[in-house]
Chain A
Amino acid sequence: MRLGLKEKARAYSPWIFHAHAGGCNNCDIELAACFAPRFDLERMGIQLRNNPRHADIFLVTGPAPKQIAPILRRVYDQLPNPKVAIACGSCAITGGVYNRDDKKPNYAIGGPVEKLIPIDVLVPGCPPRPESIIQGIMLALEKLRHR
């Protein structure tokens, strides 16, 4: 597939919207470390944005409790197309320690993030290392290019 100028530009300067859905704040600290001088994601043109309407990548951390579940869906819909979603951390992927058994789900958890929004990339770890998050974002860019 031949990429147009717009698609190429998009893949070289994607902006991230970070949605904190419950969780223990540990993934968020690692994400902050990604943008610090040692791992410096901004040299790749990636920026952290606080506005979903400016973003291309939707990065979710946390197990999405019932209170935040409808809001998470609403914020995801506010991102302009094309968009990709990353589930960052064990909580976002399966529920982790908050949701030990899928047959007996936790009463406070609105499900792992995959129940609420379509996920494209999974980044396991508790918390994932910054390199792991960078790898996840690189995989997300491959998807974004062909969307």
Chain B
Amino acid sequence: MKYGVVKLTKELLRNAIHPVTVNYPAKKDLLGALTEIADESRGKHRFDEIKCVGCGACTIVCSSSAITESDSDLERTLSVEIGRCIFCGRCRDICPEKGLELTPEFEMSKKGQSANDCIKVEHSVPLGTCDKCGRTTFPIGQIEAVRKRVNEKIDPANLVIVNKDMEIFMRYCPDCRRSGSYAFKTHPRKSY
């Protein structure tokens, strides 16, 4: 009985200094502690302006198809529909350039009548053009990223030939590559 009273007093004192109930909006308590949010907490998306190359791997892996890509004449736009996203983090895990991250920001509620009023996170990257037909091909950053990755992983014996072929291939769209592969005089083994 006596021990119970001591325990209760301890609990009461601790609650007076450091209450269990957190303030909303977040406010510091007497000890100066805020509501702690884990760094790994998954919230609003953020595209890295430099690292993201716009390859679109996140749109393929998205389990609720919240991330969509749309190409215009000059640039590709990736947009995340927050009202559809389930914050699983697969887009961040799959990103080959580590250009997408989920910030711990969670306050995303909004007034609005329909899903279109929800927050959207958008990012656009410039697209390259084909030298032959003038159509838009791939994002410029993605071409450079692929070139860099091939150079890292290729067998050094093939490095010179492959680099020479890539110089030609990277400038054209997939259709022009196919139709002009004889005229380019590239290496016959194209399995890289």
Chain A residues within CB distance 8 Å of chain B: 37-40, 43, 90, 93-97, 100-101, 112, 114, 118-126, 128-129, 131-136, 139, 142-143
Chain A residues within 8 Å of B117, by CB: 122
**Given A100-B65, A121-B109, A125-B106, A134 contacting B24 (CB threshold 8 A):** yes
Cβ–Cβ < 8 Å partners of B113 in chain A: 114, 118-120
Interface contact A126-B86, CB-CB below 8 Å? yes
Q: Give the docked Cα–Cα distance between A108 and B110 (Å).
A: 28
Indicate which residue in A37, A40, A95, A136 contacts B109 across the interface (CB closer than 8 Å): A136
* Contacting pair B86 A121 (CB below 8 A): no
Q: Does B169 contact A (CB under 8 A)?
A: no
A contact residues around B64 at 8 Å (CB): 90, 96-97, 100
Residues of B with C-beta under 8 A to A120: 111-113
Is B11 in the interface zone, CB < 8 Å from A?
A: no
**Nearest A residue (CB) for B35:** A131
Does B143 touch A at the CB level, under 8 Å?
no
Cα A133 to Cα B118 in complex, Å, equals: 15
> B residues 1-25 with Cβ under 8 Å of A?
20-22, 24
Q: How far is the CA of A47 from the CA of B28 in the complex (A)?
A: 26
Chain A residues near B74 (CB-CB < 8 A): none
